[in-house]
A and B are shown apart, each in its own frame.
Chain A
């Protein structure tokens, strides 16, 4: 059974149709890149998977481990192992990063019927994961993303992913706004988490990120559907030729 199956998904937001019969399958342990021009529906797909309100599914289904998740709350989906790394991580004034991580980890454990992590165990895991991402103690004490640079915010997303250990991580344009060094740090963070038990959907506009997170498969989206699927070389082809041909194909 695939980890994720999206079948004939149609989604509207504010009376505008964004996804028009999208089909997508992600295998367990697979790293899939989703590329496509602006407005093709990549971020909409990410948000619909995570359960954002205001996105109205008019048709189709999304099976995660064989279970339809469309009726689930965002936090229920997260507890099932779905993670969205935001393109624009939110700033949460007044909530320390450490508190946020701990609340999230324990909420998911509770939802799965697992015991909460003890303080020493939690601290050990945070220190290790943060250290690998170059996130220091001072940043962990600060309010979530408040005053963080673009690179720090993206690293914080990866830290959350490392702590939550999802089954499927959807990275929504994690490369946007990052310089090459910050991009490498983020990519290394993702690569460390690659495992046969964990899948990734890497949404990106550019091929550059895929030099560092090498995908098993590349899907091209256009006008709300997957219009082509290929190997990692497809990303290079897109980089060379642009998206123009896919805009025609979908029309």
Chain B
């Protein structure tokens, strides 16, 4: 990697450097954690905010888009803590175990910490402070990448959840991890989920961050034969940078889906390594955009072992001047034979001013694999609309039906009925609101 010589920092970069200098003494964790932070910040400081000439951030130019870096959020007050209560309501039928992070702080008294055999839950900042072994073993180590947003997160990570599911444990209730932002400030949340051999868990991550600038990261380790279903729902009124780092063991089933709506500027980046053989994964997303919203789903999938099957399926619906970005890179390492990976990205443009950028990439270093990708971007089919209208369905209703079908097809790729319904409801609500 060539180091870029930069002498002039943007205001946001300068503010971030000041924030780090000021906060580093009080951030949780000493010793190796402090060293990790320093190294990460040095890396970020050398790179700066990524811009359009950085290939991985080509369509989401943070240097241009992020004018100011807000100061770190203060601990939330009682009323802020209470706001998180209703966020998981759409999933109440699932009776999830709710964990709450408000303004970057894990709120124990708003979290369901009742004991359950094989399940350990705690706060990330506490784990960092006490030098928790699980955290020491995994944080910063799940997937190595020089990504600048992650480096920034590692430098400034404050709090989040640490979840450990012991071998063979089937966690019956989904875990809803609620992230609420109430301040005109910045938060850097970091969570770790370790699912041991043969264990099962469903994780619903919900972010409603208002005008809070968010940089959030989740590290996930799934052991052999585990099953992890992960759903991330985002509504963010300000900058929202999210990184998923996952290492998946042999014969695991891993599903991850990102649903984004009503969000100003979102980057959902996932780095997934299939470290063990014969894994099965479905990674998908649905983004609904209007106004000048910008949603970037970026994916790096590394098939590092034999017989991995992965399906990547992303869709976006764009109104007005919305801009959806999909970048998907599938890497098949040498020796990862019989890999079967298929990636599909479709954008539905409901306005002439909307923009969809699709960038699929395949890097294949094994010779006995099946990999494919497809990408489309287009308007609603006028012939289809005519067919519906010739049956008496007015234009607006016909459009709504077709958009709903487009959205429904990707929601149907979710593995559990109980997750599909609330998402479909949320999508329909968005469609109705577009009038």
Q: Residues of A with Cβ closer than 8 Å to B?
A: 50-53, 73-75, 78-79, 83-84, 86, 89-90, 92-95, 99-100, 103-105, 107-108, 111, 143, 160, 164
Instruction: Please determine whether A164 and B392 come into contact, CB atoms closer than 8 angstroms.
Output: yes
Cβ of B140 within 8 Å of any chain A Cβ, yes or no, is no
Establish whether residues B389 and A79, one from each chain, have CB atoms under 8 Å apart when the complex forms.
no
Q: Judge if B408 is at the interface, Cβ distance under 8 Å.
A: yes
With A89-B387, A92-B384, A92-B387 as known contacts, state yes or no: A104 contacts B405, CB within 8 Å.
no
**Residue from A51, A86, A90, A164 whose CB has the most chain B CB atoms within 10 Å:** A90
Residues of chain A within 8 A (CB-CB) of B383 are 90
Interface residues of B (CB under 8 A from A): 382-384, 386-395, 397-398, 401-402, 404-406, 408-409
Nearest to A99 among chain B residues (CB) is: B401
Residues of chain A contacted by B391 (CB below 8 angstroms): 75, 78, 100, 104, 107-108, 160, 164
Is A50 a contact of B401 with CB atoms below 8 Å?
Answer: no
Structural contact, B393 and A92, CB atoms closer than 8 A: no
A203 to chain B, nearest CB (A): 15
The answer to whether A74 touches B402, judged by C-beta atoms less than 8 angstroms apart, is no
B406:A107 contact, CB within 8 angstroms: no
B402–A75 touching, CB < 8 Å? no
Within the complex, the shortest CB–CB distance from B389 to chain A, in Å, comes to 4
CB distance B390 to A103 under 8 Å?
no
B405 x A92 contact (CB < 8 A): yes
Residues of A within 8 A of B386 (CB): 50, 52-53, 74
Q: Is the CB of A111 within 8 A of B387?
A: no
Known contacts A53-B382, A86-B387; decide if A94 and B393 are in contact (CB<8 Å).
no
B374 to nearest A CB, angstroms? 15
Task: Answer whether A50 and B390 are a contact pair too, CB < 8 Å, given A92-B405, A94-B404.
Answer: yes
Q: Are B406 and A94 in contact (CB under 8 A)?
A: yes
- Contact indicator A78/B390 (Cβ below 8 Å): yes
Residues of B within 8 A of A90 (CB): 383-384, 387
Q: Are B390 and A84 in contact (CB under 8 A)?
A: yes
Specify which chain A residues have a CB less than 8 angstroms from the CB of B388 in the assembled complex.
92, 100, 104
Chain A residues closer than 8 Å to B397, beta-carbon distance: 103, 107
Closest Cβ of chain B to A9, distance in Å, is 19
How many angstroms from the CA of A105 to the CA of B388 in the assembled complex? 11
- A99 and B384 CA atoms in complex are apart in Å by 15
Partner pick for A92 among B389, B392, B394, B402, CB 8 A cutoff: B402
Q: Knowing A90-B383, A90-B384, A103-B401 are in contact, say whether A108-B406 is a contact too (CB < 8 A).
A: no
| 23 CB < 8 A contacts A-B | A51-B389, A52-B390, A53-B382, A53-B386, A73-B389, A73-B394, A75-B390, A75-B392, A75-B395, A83-B390, A90-B383, A90-B384, A92-B384, A92-B387, A93-B405, A94-B404, A94-B406, A95-B404, A100-B388, A103-B397, A107-B393, A108-B391, A143-B405
